[in-house]
Chain A
Amino acid sequence: MKFSAEFEQRFTEMLTHYPSKRSVLVPTLLYAQDEVGYLSDEAITEIAQRLELKELDVRNVISYYSMLTTKPRGKYNVQICTNIACILRGADNLYQHCQKTLGIRHKQTTPDGQFSLEEVECIGACSWAPAMQVNYDFHENLTAEKIDTILDRYKKA
């Protein structure tokens, strides 16, 4: 299993930050997922070996964190916040709009592998609600029209 040079450099550096190897696990899983697209069996085995953990321990941790996934996702993961501050400002309609526009539902991926959709909990954008994240990018003060423009931009990227 090969990760990028940037990943390896970060991994090596992070190991020096803690008195126990295991502490690098959560951020390492997320960075691995960013490279592979999801936490593949191969990636899990590799990380477990490096940190001298059982694969089961690693999977146990993966299942706890909502950002970590063992299933492939689209190139762009559209995450609509439907928590209270966003709901009060119309997030429910926006989430429905995205379902219609993309033709997919919660945790599904478009057939061309471009987009995934996810209903997520508070992303820390309450004062700029309604909001969403596409991968790690924040998009705030949304309207249906704004979402269309944003999704179009990703489509063409």
Chain B
Amino acid sequence: MADLVSHPDEVKVVSKRFGQGAADIDRYLALDGYKAVQKALGMTPDAIIGEIKTSGLRGRGGAGFPTGMKWSFVPKDSAKAKYILCNGDESEPGTCKDRLILEHDPHSVIEGVMIAGLAVNAESGYIYIRGEYRYLTIIMQKAIRDAYAKGFLGKNIFGSAKTFNVYWHGGAGAYEVGEESALMESLEGKRGVPRIKPPFPAVVGLWGSPTVINNVETLSSAPHILLDGAQKFADYGTPKNGGVRLFCLSGHVNTPGVYELPLGYSLKKMIYDVGGGIPGGKKLKAIVPGGSSTPVLTADEIDIAMDFDGVAKAGSMLGSGGVVVIDDSTCMVRFAQYIMKFYQHESCGWCIPCREGTDWLKKTLDRFHAGGGVRKDIDNIQYLSENMLGRTFCPLGDAAAMPTISIVKKFRKEFEDHLEGKPCPYDPVGTTRQLLPVLSD
């Protein structure tokens, strides 16, 4: 489906089976498939967790939480059933990597779920795939069926005394369900409204039982870590930021695509070398470094290492690996407007700061960009955003606020250029959006 790309600087770990027909179980086996889980069967849970900790693997969904530590939080003495939940609700704008893993290497996800299961003594795992990815659900259903047929899943896996079941689950369109507690609600057949934390899922998760929730890419990394060596994986990256990750380059670059690069790779090189630079002789204006919820960086802030700590030091987040490049012909007010349109649409309405905040901000930004802005609005946009931070059950409020605050702070002049009914300097005939009649649901 989606085109594959390649660049000499890539270190292919998770993506090494892409384009090789590994969705077929026999092909996957020929490419060292299901060897890691057999190795894990001979290890103690603590030893598996120890390997993941050594690898430095941090969550690839966005938060970057150390995976080994997450697994170690599951209480060992719990009498309840334990669950592994693979988060394939990929919907952070700018992110399109889990899609490739599920399409090209679905068995690596199953294997990762099994390894996580062995690490925490769970016997069931669920792979949640967003509803829009129907073709991937079909691929995953077949992969699971094939794994059962070979005796890799079910009772006595690989001739051991262990039982492990993996099930697929499909969503029906909701960004918020990508948040772990909302994901559990959705899997339990409810609205994806977030739960208050603590208790954390590792203690009280699916159906009240201890649950490990990891992103597709995180789980798909686990077999490679066990098989190739944790230290080797750690060494690809930088200290405390082990490994490689899939970066999704999009926006104004000549060669967009999903590239697997070592953590700590230079953002500048990523844009100009891997991404082939900005098309049409235009200049760089801004970068979204890790999906739409992360604060934007300016063209002067690209001499940074793309790992969790490097991007944090620059005041943003590595997030989900969605790198969106923005050229100098783009209106940042309009960009902020589109980001807020998204969060207003996706806010579930459970927490008032997010429900009201995103709606006010969207209306203000719409009016502002259309030429109806007053000076006070600029500070108000920032004030409203800041008042959403940390005041909601789930991070959706933060996700809407963080990029908006950064745009107001870093591109304040562009807001001022829209004041007093002045037409958008980047789109003097009026924005395409405002030319459209008001649409309603």
User: Which residues of A come within 8 Å of B, CB atoms?
Assistant: 17-20, 22-27, 29-30, 51, 60-61, 64-68, 82-85, 87-89, 92-93, 96, 99, 105-107, 119, 121-129, 133, 136, 138, 140-141
Give the CA-CA distance A121 to B288 in the complex, in Å. 17
Cβ–Cβ contact B131 & A84, under 8 A: no
Top-5 shortest CB links A-B: A67-B173, A25-B189, A22-B189, A66-B173, A65-B172
Cβ–Cβ contact B292 & A84, under 8 A: yes
Given A23-B187, A123-B132, A128:B256 Cβ within 8 A: yes
Give the CA-CA distance A128 to B5 in the complex, in Å. 11
B92 within 8 Å of A by Cβ? yes
Contact of A122 among B93, B193, B330, B441 (CB under 8 A): B93
- A60 partner residues in chain B, CB cutoff 8 A: 191
Given A30-B170, A68-B173, A124:B256 Cβ within 8 A: no
- B134 partner residues in chain A, CB cutoff 8 A: 136
Cβ–Cβ contact A23 & B188, under 8 A: yes
How near does chain B come to A134, taking the closest CB pair, in angstroms? 12
B300 within 8 Å of A by Cβ? no
Cβ–Cβ contact B189 & A24, under 8 A: yes
Cβ–Cβ contact A124 & B99, under 8 A: yes
B397 within 8 Å of A by Cβ? no
Cβ–Cβ contact B432 & A65, under 8 A: no
Cβ–Cβ contact B189 & A61, under 8 A: yes
Q: Which residues of B131-176 are within 8 A (CB) of A?
A: 131-135, 167, 169-175
**Contact stretch, chosen from B107-115, B246-254, B388-396:** B246-254
Q: In the complex, what residue of chain B is closest to A138 when comparing beta carbons?
A: B1
**Contact stretch, chosen from B9-17, B224-232, B339-347, B354-362:** B339-347
Give the CA-CA distance A136 to B131 in the complex, in Å. 9
B398 within 8 Å of A by Cβ? no
Contact of B322 among A18, A126, A141 (CB under 8 A): A126
Majority secondary structure, B binding face = loop
B429 within 8 Å of A by Cβ? no
Q: A88-B250, A92-B433, A125-B2 are in contact. List 7 more A-B contacts (CB 8 A).
A: A22-B190, A26-B186, A85-B93, A107-B441, A124-B95, A124-B130, A124-B132
Q: In the complex, what residue of chain B is closest to A24 when comparing beta carbons?
A: B189
- B257 partner residues in chain A, CB cutoff 8 A: 127
- A20 partner residues in chain B, CB cutoff 8 A: 188-189, 207
- A24 partner residues in chain B, CB cutoff 8 A: 189
Contact of B436 among A96, A125, A140 (CB under 8 A): A96
Cβ–Cβ contact A85 & B251, under 8 A: yes
Q: In the complex, what residue of chain A is closest to B133 when comparing beta carbons?
A: A124
Give the CA-CA distance A136 to B3 in the complex, in Å. 18
Give the CA-CA distance A88 to B173 in the complex, in Å. 23
Q: In the complex, what residue of chain B is closest to A63 when comparing beta carbons?
A: B191
How near does chain B come to A97, taking the closest CB pair, in angstroms? 11
Give the CA-CA distance A24 to B384 in the complex, in Å. 39
Cβ–Cβ contact B174 & A64, under 8 A: yes
A-B contact pairs, 15 of them (CB 8 A): A17-B167, A24-B189, A25-B189, A26-B187, A27-B171, A67-B172, A82-B338, A83-B93, A124-B98, A126-B248, A126-B324, A127-B96, A127-B248, A128-B3, A138-B1
Q: In the complex, what residue of chain B is closest to A26 when comparing beta carbons?
A: B172
